[in-house]
Every structure is written in structure tokens, then in C-alpha cells.
Amino acid sequence: MLIADLAAPQLRHSTEFRRLVRKPADTFNVSCDLIAGTPTPVITWLRDGHLLMTSSRADVTGSQLIVTSLQVDDGGVYTCTASNVVGEDYRVFRLVVEGESYANNINRSIVITAYITAALTACLCPR
């Protein structure tokens, strides 16, 4: 192989950051479509920055990721990275699994925001 034959990985990008909403017990199925790369890139999957491995509910097969029987805790940021000696490319997916924990997080955010706003207002009022 000649140096001129080398090419950095390139993934098909519909959007750089996709937000996907699913319900508990649904299946999450995403793929990274490799359109270039010499030598053949290695595909890795991360969830919230941690390497994702095949498990009883997650099937990591090259460029495809399938997570079955989704649970609220499966939500997070999933990253597919294609890399070789020339470079790398990646796609990011934000998975939100609807459920009680998701609603509780929103309620906590509202309460915290209201508390901070009230505290700042109290501090900024002229005396």
C-alpha cells in the first residue's frame, strides 16, 4: 500500500448531533455508515465517554449498535468513532428514554432554576 492510497475515515453524516427519544422496552438501533477510509477503520462505540461492549441487551457489531428492552438508565450520549492511522471521524447520538426519572430530572431542573433565580433576585435588589 502506498502512502497516496491512505485515506482518513469518513462517516455519512445526516446531522452531527441527533437527539432520539424512545420509550422503555423499545429498541434503540443506530448505525454509522462508513463511506471512506484506507486502511479499513476500526469502529468503536462509547456511551457517556465509556467504551460500550456487547452485553445481554446491547449488540455492538462494527458500525451498528442495537440496544433492546430499553430502560430509563440507558439514556445518554452515544458516540460512534471510526479511526485508522490517518485520522478519525465520529457521529454522536443523544438517547432520551422517556420515564419517571426523566420527568424527575426536569422537575429538579425547574426547582433549581427557580431557586437560583429567586436567590439572585434577592441579592440584586437595592436596599
Residue 107 to residue 103: CA distance in whole angstroms: 6
User: What CATH number is attached to the domain comprising 31?
Assistant: 2.60.40.10
- Which tens digit of pLDDT belongs to each residue from 53-109? 999 999 999 899 999 999 999 999 999 999 999 999 999 999 999 985 545 455 545
Contact indicator for 13, 93 with CB cutoff of 8 Å = no
pLDDT averaged over the chain? 81
- Give whole-number Cα distances, 63 to 42, 66, 107, in Å: 9, 10, 36
Q: Is 124 within the bounds of a domain? A: no
Does 113 reside within a domain? no
In 3D space, the residue among 67, 94, 98 whose CA is nearest the CA of residue 79 turns out to be 94
Q: Is-contact 56 68, C-beta < 8 A? A: no
CB 83 within 8 A of CB 10: no
> Has this prediction a pTM greater than 0.75?
no
**Residue 52 domain-assigned (yes or no):** yes
